[in-house]
Structure 1
């Protein structure tokens, strides 16, 4: 649920060639002060699909905009029915080797911070501290009238009670936790209001067409200014909300390193792009640094 890209990005012109050499990433981490910027690609090994790349959900699914959600009762019914079903799968996702490696780097004092474009909460679940969730988190709900926050689990239990027997078969689950359902499948789904004021409930995430809170953006810019290097993990950087930090880093003369299988919009700003699956790449780096992941000590 990010700001809607106006165009899909495809590489134009010569970009730096990709590599499978993780040594530059290890060198940056060894020096310390690394700021991580992660995207949907780090969560694919947890069973959460990417927006782009092979089989990416944008090929079949257009996320709801903030304007649609706030303007239409029918749109909110469609959103909450799909999101409620998706939460049953999404809420059970577990951190993978990539998330655990990032948490281990943090425990060993190699990172200056973690910014994620994801709304899945898996960096926090893996043990990373002080994670800046650029687009919010699906495990929280906010009332648009009174501003009260509440756990997603509480709303999920209420929705289960209000919609007995709701168990349609979805075509898939998307990176925003939204299941692919037809209009017929969501018809009759009961949407619930805020228990305190009766207002409209919304997941605490930034929808397409909605802006990231300015204070959050400025906090990220501060982290970028303080970093010794920026390590991008699993992001195509197609959307400006993440690309702007890569550009800020490069303009300051600070190294940018990317681990992503496919070319990204930030490749021309990067010292290197490592084209390897994130879990294996980061585990290899951890082993080479002697960093303990999952309680095991690297040889």
Structure 2
């Protein structure tokens, strides 16, 4: 990787030198906001969508409009989720989550804006977390707005679809599973028990949907209070996260990145380090104690 000089920081440095530069970056900017993505959770057994070049590893996820308008799409989604969501249920916070929680406790991280929906930042101990895309363990009725726990709905779906108990498949991102080629037309999908006919949807932002304005406002407010931004484990290929990097650049806030591979904001970083996420953040936290 070529070396350049932007905002007096080295870009594209070696891992060892990059860690030293990252430690120095955090020391200079005591109020740090972290923007995290799927690369923070891959070490926990939750797959990601994209490769190091930012290209899809698998077909894109379900679109919001298709989910809302097509029973067949919902049948396919919930059948796959009944198998694949086990990976999220079984996941525990990894070294990256624990290191970021430690950095917050040490006073170096003022907030985490996460594009993930697994809740692992909170389970690791981070206190100020903005779940940009929602939380996967909750289900919301799109009719009456009622919430219920996803494991409760999954238990109900399992009882209604006993033939799916023994199905095994490779898991995918966000609780998906590779079940292509199966017939989903007989899979029973339940509507909301409270209002009777509301569509039940995971309380997450699907592709083609919008992040709730209140979350966007909270994220921008956290960024405004910060001295700098640290991007961790995301290619920023979707605008919902990229917008905060662009805003930090407009505000002349220094931006560092820890991510393996291409991102859409590579020209905006003061420092970019391509190294293992968990081990690097653990080393960062240890150096700042």
Please, what TM-score do these two structures have when normalized by structure 1? Answer: 0.87
Corresponding residue for 1:281? 280
Aligned partners of 1:89, 1:243: CA distance in 2, in Å?
A: 27
Aligned to 1:257, the other structure's residue is in SS state strand
Corresponding residue for 1:22? 19
Corresponding residue for 1:75? 73
Please state how far the C-alpha of 1:142 moved relative to its aligned partner.
0.2
219-228 or 17-26: bigger deviation = 17-26
Corresponding residue for 2:240? 241
Corresponding residue for 1:6? none
Aligned to 1:137, the other structure's residue is in SS state strand
Deviation by residue 1:130-152 (Cα, 9 ceiling, x = unmatched): 21111111111000000011111
118-127 or 22-31: bigger deviation = 22-31
Among 177, 180, 193, the residue aligned to 1:179: 177
Corresponding residue for 1:188? 186
Aligned partners of 1:183, 1:202: CA distance in 2, in Å?
A: 23
Classify 1:57/1:139 alpha carbon distance in 2 versus 1 (closer, same or farther; 3 Å).
farther
Please state how far the C-alpha of 1:29 moved relative to its aligned partner.
3.0
Classify 1:63/1:95 alpha carbon distance in 2 versus 1 (closer, same or farther; 3 Å).
same
**Aligned CA-pair RMSD:** 2.0
User: Are the equivalent residues in 2 in contact too, given 1:19–1:273 (CA < 8 A)?
Assistant: no
Classify 1:155/1:55 alpha carbon distance in 2 versus 1 (closer, same or farther; 3 Å).
farther
Aligned partners of 1:26, 1:248: CA distance in 2, in Å?
A: 23
- Which 4+ residue blocks in structure 1 deviate beyond 6 angstroms? none
Q: How does 1:111-190 map to 2 (within 5 A)?
A: 111-166=109-164, 167-170=166-169, 172-190=170-188
Corresponding residue for 2:267? 268
Among 44, 53, 56, the residue aligned to 1:46: 44
Aligned partners of 1:55, 1:245: CA distance in 2, in Å?
A: 21
Q: How does 1:102-113 map to 2 (within 5 A)?
A: 102-113=100-111
Please, what TM-score do these two structures have when normalized by structure 2? Answer: 0.90
Gaps of 5+ in 2: 1-5
Gaps of 5+ in 1: 1-14, 291-299
Aligned partners of 1:214, 1:55: CA distance in 2, in Å?
A: 30
Is residue 90 of structure 1 aligned with residue 88 of structure 2?
yes
Please state how far the C-alpha of 1:57 moved relative to its aligned partner.
8.7
Please state how far the C-alpha of 1:183 moved relative to its aligned partner.
4.6
Corresponding residue for 1:228? 227
Deviation by residue 1:119-166 (Cα, 9 ceiling, x = unmatched): 111111111112111111111100000001111121122112212241
User: Are the equivalent residues in 1 in contact too, given 2:12–2:272 (CA < 8 A)?
Assistant: yes
Aligned to 1:32, the other structure's residue is in SS state coil
Aligned to 2:173, the other structure's residue is in SS state coil
Corresponding residue for 1:255? 254
Deviation by residue 1:51-84 (Cα, 9 ceiling, x = unmatched): 1115989332221101100111111101111112
Aligned to 1:267, the other structure's residue is in SS state coil
Please state how far the C-alpha of 1:92 moved relative to its aligned partner.
0.8
